Amino acid sequence: MKYTKLGNSDLNVSRVCMGCMGFGDAGQGQHAWTLDEAHSREIIKHGLELGVNFYDTAIAYQGGTSEQYVGRALRDFARRDEVVLATKFLPRTPEEIAAGVSGQRHVENMLNQSLKNLGMDYVDLYICHMWDWNTPIEDVMDGLNRQVVAGKARYIGISNCFAWQIAKANAIAEREGWAKLVSVQGHYNLIFREEEREMAPYCDEENIAMTPYSALASGRLARRPGETSVRMEKDAFAKFKYDATKAQDDIIINRVAEIAEARGVSMTEVSLAWLLTKVTAPVVGATKFHHIEGAVKAVELALTDEEIASLEAPYVPHPLAGVMAQNRPPKRRD
């Protein structure tokens, strides 16, 4: 395993981050394909054995049970100071807004619940899961800074945002002397490269770490066109993100398969090796041993310039999908 600094922080992270959305009680969330605790623990332990020290979860994953599983496993299998743990919080709910719960209080309440789920005193990286259009960003950044000052979060980040949004948030933080966002977790992979328009250049300029999710496009970049999996069949959210562009994407996926066959490696390794030339640490979901093993092997795979060019050439612009397609202000009522 190789390690690197996470943006403008002193966190030393593995080049692969284990995404923990696949862990949790399948009866308590939006995904029916998640692993129970016993199998989740096996995957996490194996990741640690392979040198993965960076783990990403969220309070929204399976009703908080992902945080619970991850917290117990890391407490049992690793020293706290040897792992980098990230979790995420959701925007204020309509009920909180109606009750007058401030953005600052919301951040504190959410982190306190996550720490309870995790069984920990602090998280290394606390991430705003998505832009909250109903809460002033000043309140969110103030709330996050208060948690850093209190020692409950070492650093802060954001997910599912535009470059102008993270720039605005950090400009406010700099003006007020608050903690700034050190990472962004966006939707980025070989068949969805819209982050290259503005986010990637901005992050490069400001030394903000990119830790993208959907690194393998929910498994599509790990299998030849036509091959499937339980998740690909059952995950309606992922189907919504990719099915509309399947014909375009299959051209690239076939090239991944050709390079993998020629190199004698897996498609996972090729797809992630490409992404690793662009970002700090992709978030890779793992529900089987070979998922995390392939991700770790990708760190050592160096693609040639010709291979990279071959993979990139067929790409065409994609419409925003998933959470980012909804990242817009609420409609005004006249």
Catalytic residues: 61
The answer to whether the beta carbons of residues 48 and 88 sit under 8 Å apart is no
Alpha-carbon distance 280 to 47, whole Å? 18
Of all helices (H) and strands (E), which one includes residue 164? helix 163-176
The answer to whether the beta carbons of residues 270 and 263 sit under 8 Å apart is yes
Alpha-carbon distance 309 to 316, whole Å? 14
Burial of 86 (0-12, 13-18, 19+ CB in 10 A): buried
Question: Any idea what DSSP says for residue 21?
Answer: T
The answer to whether the beta carbons of residues 144 and 156 sit under 8 Å apart is yes
Helix-, strand-, coil-residue percentages of the chain, each rounded to 5: 50, 15, 40
Alpha-carbon distance 109 to 56, whole Å? 19
Q: How many residues does the chain have?
A: 334
